[in-house]
Amino acid sequence: MIPVQGFEGATVAVLGLGRSGLAAARALRAGGAQVVVWDDTPRARAAAEADGFEVRELNRESAFDDVACLVTSPGIPHLYPAPNPATAAALKAGVPVDNDIGLFFRSFGADFDRFERPPRVVAVTGSNGKSTTSALIHHILTASVRSSQLAGNIGRGVLDIDPPEDGGVVVLELSSYQTELARALTPDVAVFTNLSPDHLDRHGGLGGYFAAKRRLFAEGGPDRCVIGVDEVEGQFLAGQMAEGRADDRVIRVATHKLTGPGWMVFARKGFLSEWRKGRQIASVDLRDVAGLPGAHNHQNACAAWAACRSLGLGPREIEAGLRSFAGLPHRSQRIAEQGGVIFVNDSKATNVDSALKALLAFDRIRWVCGGLMKEGGLAALEPGLNHVAKAYVIGREPEGFALQLGGVEAELCGTMDQAVARAAEDAQPGDVVLLAPAAASFDQYDNFEKRGEDFVANVQKVLAKG
């Protein structure tokens, strides 16, 4: 645990008692704060009360008369589309609002005088690939016998990690919900993977969404910035953070060749290249790295490479880490192969951009897709549809989804078991049965993990039948 500093003897309110909320409440208590908590769920309130916390309904302005700060969980809106009533009450009462990420950064360096080599923090944000990039950085560090902890949106709660070791690294995956609200953001290395439309209602549009990501860099003042420049927003951010073209405090990352005097890492036709001061420093063939299939994962590899180089690792040990990386569940996860047919679980492809990247990673696809469509429709999938032999559409309203798939042959399956069974029946050697829904899971599942687990279970059931 990382005890929260700066609130000794003060009353702090915690809103939302999921994983991050409970960890924040305990870390605040460990730092000497008086903690009051609230959650809309009676079971969560009862569990917190049993843990010794005072439960206080926070929907009234008067509830904040003695409160120094409100700490909210990531899923609770504080501005758009409308503030949560408790957050609105805090704002009206003039009480500062923060989250566990802000508490972490204000507390993490409290006792660094005892270290010979201070610990460092790598923070990764972006629309797609941030989980894989974060996990890959952590894996490379661990494989290179460096002390590393993985936290934030992946791994452990950020305040629930162990006190860092001398020279240790904490790798954080941060969503826009977290970077937008955190009052302190001071990573040593900040990584921006890419940007595509997502969570637009929460951020008041694409500009607000990008602004939330940008705070990690503009507010945080990292020593090194690793920035994906495939989109104009990344190019803009890199330009804002660099003093000039040769400023190697910024490492530009792309899925196409980059030129110039600066520091850059790019992947082109499956080959990763690192260039600095106009010279190639290293090159790696990624085409046979099983845990990182497709151009989108090659972009993740470039970002992880750049972050690890910033931490002082050499090309050979980073390459060894890339090759031993097995991938993450539900993210281009190769789960089985039988009769020349490969089965891949990419349930995390919840938006059109991530699904398109999954489609472009394989040549002939039996595509399991569908669910709760997001704003904007499916038109942006068009460049990948020629990779699809047939679509097998799930979800409560598969008809509407299938109508947006252009000329792709589509079968309305509705349920995962029927979609997997039909795709496996139709598949020929060389085909890939791919779950990349291009939609949220909430019409049929609690989350994308449950959807992916259902896909895996049904693949195993089909393969067991022979």
Residues annotated in a binding site: 126-132
Give the β-pairing of 11-15 and 34-38: parallel
Q: Where is the binding site for ATP, in residues?
A: 126-132
Residue 79 one-letter amino acid = L
Give the list of residues 6+ apart from residue 291 with CB closer than 8 angstroms, or none.
Answer: 297, 325, 326, 327
- CA dist., res. 366 & res. 452, Å (int): 16
Three-state DSSP class for residue 336:
strand
- CA dist., res. 302 & res. 255, Å (int): 9
And the tokens for 423? Answer: 């795709």
Instruction: Give the bridge partners for 266, in sequence order.
Output: 254, 273
- Candidates 222, 197, 23, 218; CA nearest to 103 is 23
- CA dist., res. 63 & res. 142, Å (int): 46
Instruction: Give the bridge partners for 285, in sequence order.
Output: 271
- CA dist., res. 277 & res. 134, Å (int): 27
Instruction: Give the bridge partners for 274, in sequence order.
Output: 265, 282
- Answer for the pair 355, 381: CB distance below 8 angstroms, yes or no: yes
- Candidates 332, 297, 289, 319; CA nearest to 452 is 332
In terms of Cβ atoms closer than 10 Å to its own Cβ (0-12, 13-18, 19+), residue 428 is exposed
And the tokens for 372? Answer: 């709760």
Residue 153: count other Cβ atoms within 10 Å of its Cβ.
19
